Amino acid sequence: MNFETSVAHTSFRQEDVNVSKSTPIYQTSVFRFSDLDELEGFYEGKSNYLYTRMGNPNSDELATAVAELEDAESGVATSSGISAILAGMLSVLKSGDHLVASEDLYGGTVQLLTGELSRFGIEVSYADFTNEHSIRAMMRSNTKMIYSESITNPFLRVENIEQMVRIAKEFNLVSMIDNTFATPYLVKPVEFGVDLVAHSGTKYIGGHSDVSIGVVVGRADLIAEARIRVVSLGANVSPFESWLTVRGLKTLALRMEKQTKNARSLADALAKNAVVHKVYYPNHVLPKGDGAMVTIELSEQVDVRNFFASLGWITIVPSLAGVETTVSYPIATSHRALSEEDQARLGINSHVIRISVGIEHIDDIIKQFEKAIQTSVNERN
């Protein structure tokens, strides 16, 4: 062969000889076939992979791992938590259908439901999920799905999943839960009868703030439909992102144990601070801990800008769940798109701070927050 031909065919392939302990990264857009019969075999279900948008060993490894941890039948990985939620919803919902959702959701999810699903002709109603009558009052003849979060964002209400599933079965609805904050380490919604479970794998599943990824798991028939939506909408995730997420997933139990323990200690400490108006943290609701997020509302005595400027090694980020302790500002980030009326109704104001608690020594975490609060107290108040 001429040089130009040789250099284009330098790939080294010995798949059956080199057995790697870790799954290799299948960083390829397409998969090769030896002849047309083998190509046709893909469409007949005899082989798994054709084109990475349609499936890849790395993304399938991640989806299978999360499905197994959630005790779900099947799963599919996606490009983000939002695309996982969308794929799950579109596995059920079509134009003319109606969805009932909890009113206290992540702002990005509300934007998806209100701003985008309506473009598909899907109607959404929000209910107070602490009130069973409020949920029932939203039901219509065209209602097809009920949706909430296992631990809500940002006020950390632990959902009554048993009640939600009971209502779903009564009205013949598909139930769907975002389990990002809890992870299967703390809660397995499938055990309660939930049909679909979504994760922003960007958060605790990956755990190191270096991927953007989602996973939806659940009933095999619904996941088969969700997979079609992922392929059709181009919501697939790259092999490398999938590989990184699987690597992070291996330490989920260790991270969640430490971060959840730290969060409880921080919440208890801040509850004793005179200028912390309110601490939002579940009150020993879940058997293995109540999560690694703490939300606080500072009193009017605290200058919020000075508080953020005084946090030192604790950084401001618009996300959560890395191994480092970070803070975010819901009114300016996660719930920015909500109207002022909706923000006020949910209790999101300029003094609400969401804390993602990391794996550092708890004494250092508490000391840094107390220092920032003390430094930012406005004595004139």
Positions annotated as catalytic residues are 53, 106, 178, 203
On whether the CB atoms of residues 272 and 374 are closer than 8 A, the answer is no
Greatest CA span in the chain, whole angstroms? 83
Q: Can you say how many angstroms the Cα of residue 109 is from the centroid of all Cα atoms in its chain?
A: 10
* Helix, strand and coil percent figures for the chain, each rounded to 5: 40, 15, 45
Question: What are the distances in angstroms from CA 304 to CA 22, 233, 307, 319?
Answer: 46, 41, 5, 19
DSSP-assigned states of every residue in 196-237 = EEEEETTTTTT-SS----EEEEE-HHHHHHHHHHHHHHT---
Cβ atoms < 10 Å from Cβ of 201: 32
Question: What are the distances in angstroms from CA 29 to CA 33, 77, 245?
Answer: 14, 16, 19
On whether the CB atoms of residues 156 and 106 are closer than 8 A, the answer is no
Alpha helix locations (H) across 236-323?
Answer: 239-249, 252-271, 304-309
DSSP-assigned states of every residue in 310-335 = T-TTSEE-SS--SSS-EEE-TTTTTT
Show the tokens assigned to 177.
């839960």
Q: 245: which DSSP letter?
A: H
Query: How many alpha carbons fall within 13 Å on the CB side of residue 166?
Result: 8
Straight-line distance from the first to the last Cα atom of the chain, in angstroms, rounded to the nearest whole number: 82
